[in-house]
Structure 1
């Protein structure tokens, strides 16, 4: 239901969360004018929200002129979630083995609104231009992990998310949606989806989802490797089946099969 039609939707709370969501790894410090531009909120509303978030420890203020960084309360808030994800501890050794073999990075990701977010990662190649870390994200429709999630998600949930993507950025949706059908065929036949530089020209991506959600989340294993380490088909033939085996072994450890 749209927020403006939902009587139980706390708009002010949503706006505060939108403020926190403005930060990126390459933009760790923002001013009130930046929040206003990104959220569409008025300057006065932004000022009240940032003041409140500073008082609660979710933002820290520096300046003048006033600028803000995320506060320690954000990190403390995420710890109970990460600690409860037992799949991270079970899968970590298996992920490291595959990362070493593939000379890349193997990550465990889940969906967060219109992105896939890392909850665990193992890296064995400093040549990777992207450095996946916990809390980092991948695009939902342009990455192998996002396509794997979309192909495995329930029909109603997938349709809702695709509609949100289309409304958020029609051009991005039109560019990447046509590749979703082929990704679905690959997942059905091979057990994994691939990304041949559709997201980044310096990396290949491969992704295999779990057979079903665990603790209400649909997890996806993702492997990224430099595109200069070998042709795509050869890398897919080597890494894809190993990534599927990693997902199946994790399912057995979790008791999903």
Structure 2
């Protein structure tokens, strides 16, 4: 479903505009042509509302009627905006404004990391109310020890996940079993609510929630993840839920863009 941003308490928030943008977000590479009925299902909006929004977008050029059939496609102005946004950007540059938004909304430190072999490598980081010592940009950690790595593992197809786990150097049998159990939990959590949470970092002092920045059950060449975390003593369960909610919203925006950058 194409999520629609909303803030009922913000009087400057324009709901109609948000709905129109939600319609545009429904179009991606697997779904380049959609009917208004399909858009209504994906946005959760009523059919009459979707038709009025689509009519306005058609008249403005942001949607066009497909050459054959009853479908709609993205129009030239929307494609121009996408090209302007992506041209010259790499993944960290694309993610950074969204990372700042996560920090502003949660207060938690936010990290963008990418998988390299059996490790996750941090490539961009914004610190919240605390700084984790000895973890500057470029820090590395095995996939099964950090929430970002667990999020990547959880999103991979089962065979790719098994291959990735087998490549992790973990000679201690007891520790390996604990980490396999941690991966299993991450897979279940991600299937349930789209996030992976980990509260046993740095002797339990640090809690984090992460999301993969690629579609579930795919194996892109670059496997990115976004993490938000804070000191366990400063975050309540409500704070953690809020961070998870913000990450899910951000993931919905970034996954298609990251896929486009990889082409």
The runs of 5 or more residues in structure 1 that have no matched partner are 1-83
Which position in structure 1 is the counterpart of 2:132? 129
Matched, 1:104 2:108: yes
| 1:243 Cα deviation from its structure 2 partner | 0.8
Q: Identify which of 202, 224, 227 aligns with 1:219.
A: 224
What is the distance in 2 between the residues matched to 1:227 and 1:219?
A: 25
SS in 1 for 2:250: helix
Matched, 1:230 2:242: no
| 1:215 Cα deviation from its structure 2 partner | 6.6
Q: Identify which of 125, 138, 142 aligns with 1:139.
A: 142
Which position in structure 1 is the counterpart of 2:118? 114
The runs of 5 or more residues in structure 2 that have no matched partner are 1-87
Q: TM-score if structure 1 supplies the norm length?
A: 0.59
What is the distance in 1 between the residues matched to 2:231 and 2:185?
A: 23
Q: Identify which of 198, 209, 212 aligns with 2:212.
A: 209
What is the distance in 2 between the residues matched to 1:250 and 1:214?
A: 16
| 1:166 Cα deviation from its structure 2 partner | 6.2
C-alpha RMSD of the superposition: 2.5
What is the distance in 2 between the residues matched to 1:141 and 1:97?
A: 27
Which position in structure 1 is the counterpart of 2:244? 240
Matched, 1:183 2:206: no
| 1:254 Cα deviation from its structure 2 partner | 3.9
Listed one character per residue, the Cα deviations across residues 122-142 of structure 1 (whole Å, up to 9, x for unaligned) are 2222x2334643211233212
Matched, 1:250 2:254: yes
| 1:217 Cα deviation from its structure 2 partner | 0.7
What is the distance in 2 between the residues matched to 1:140 and 1:192?
A: 15
Number of residue-to-residue matches in the alignment: 171
Which position in structure 1 is the counterpart of 2:48? none
| 1:101 Cα deviation from its structure 2 partner | 2.6
SS in 1 for 2:233: helix
What is the distance in 2 between the residues matched to 1:228 and 1:172?
A: 26
What is the distance in 2 between the residues matched to 1:131 and 1:242?
A: 27
Which position in structure 2 is the counterpart of 1:197? 200
Q: TM-score if structure 2 supplies the norm length?
A: 0.58
Matched, 1:90 2:100: no
Matches of residues 66-77 of structure 1 in structure 2 within 5 Å?
Answer: none
| 1:100 Cα deviation from its structure 2 partner | 2.8
| 1:255 Cα deviation from its structure 2 partner | 5.7
| 1:209 Cα deviation from its structure 2 partner | 0.4
SS in 1 for 2:103: helix
